[in-house]
Each structure stands twice: as structure tokens, then as C-alpha cells.
Amino acid sequence: MDFFQLLAVPKGFGVDLTLLEANFLAASRRCHPDFVGADSQEVLLQSAMVNKAYTTLKDPLGRGEYLLRLEGGSTGESSRVVDPFVLEEIMEARGELDQNPTGGTRKNLLEMTANRMKNHQEQLLNRFRKLEFLQGLAKADTLAEIRQTLNGLRYYQNLFRDLFQGA
């Protein structure tokens, strides 16, 4: 049973987060040792699996990585290809922050990074939807595009985290 089935949400990148949370809470109650009245290893494993499923599907990067793995795509460890534009923009943003670490610069970079993350998530949504209708070489090419987009999203998320923590 995959994480989507476990939490009773449609398989895809565009997960309804409200439904995901509601189904997670219901699943947690069904298998939580405090509610089930049992402290068996099986109940604990089931509870841990529900928590892992929720954590994975709630996060766009985790969800994308999980979906890509289900589709047979490469992992982030095996393919680190990133759009050169993304790398250049990340380096420029970090350089700009080093030269001018004021609140205004940080705020502008946070806004830019949030927009890039949103754009990458939209690209992933479209590519995963497109994937349903592809086979062979076209599917392999789209899986590679998804991998590259996920790698770019990871860079932007790391930059966003660093900017936010430094605020």
C-alpha cells in the first residue's frame, strides 16, 4: 500500500492538503496505541507509517520525490542535474546577501525565492499530470525533467530556509 492509499487521497502531485490532514488525523486515531488500547509492535509500526506518509505527502519536495520513485524515476542521490539558470540565480542571491545583508535585501530575496518555489511546484504539477499519458522515451524524458525540477526546488527551498533563519 502506498502513502496515497494509506491516507486515502488521490495519487498525484496536486494533493488537497485539507483532505490530507483530515485523513491523517483519522488514520492516526485508528492506529495510535493510546486509542487502540494496544501497545503491540504492529500498532507502533502502523502509527509510524501513517506519520511518515503524512510528513512525506505534506511537503511538496517530499511528495515529488516519492511520486518520482513510484514512477521509476531517478533519485536525488543518483542524479543531481540542475538547470544552470537555477544555480546561477542561487549563487547571485547568496552573493547579494553577503554584500548587503540588510532586512530589505533579505525580504526581496525571500519574495523572489518563494516565487521560484511556487513556479517549480506548478511545473511539477503539470509534468506529473502529463506523465500519466506518456510511455517509452517520452516518459523517460519527462521523468528526467521532473528530476531536474525537483533538484531545483531543493536549491530554492534551502535558500529560503537560510534566508528565513537569518532574518
Residue 74 lies in a domain: no
Describe the chain by its helix, strand, coil percentages, rounded to 5.
75, 0, 25
Residue 85, pLDDT above cutoff 90: yes
Give the domain range for residue 159. 84-165
Residue 90 lies in a domain: yes
pLDDT single digits (tens) 120-161: 999 999 999 999 898 999 999 999 999 999 999 999 999 999
Residue 136: count other Cβ atoms within 10 Å of its Cβ: 7
Q: Are residues 115 and 46 in the same domain?
A: no
Task: State what percent of residues in the chain have pLDDT above 90.
Answer: 70
Residue 167: band (very low, low, confident or very high) from pLDDT cuts 50, 70, 90: low
Residue 99 lies in a domain: yes
Residue with the larger pLDDT of the pair 38 and 163: 163
Number of separate domains in the chain: 2
Residue 72 lies in a domain: no
Choose among 81, 28, 15: nearest CA to 73: 81
Residue 72, pLDDT above cutoff 70: yes
Cβ partners under 8 Å of residue 60, min gap 6: 13, 117, 121, 124, 153
CATH code of the domain covering residue 129: 1.20.1280
Q: Are residues 153 and 97 in the same domain?
A: yes
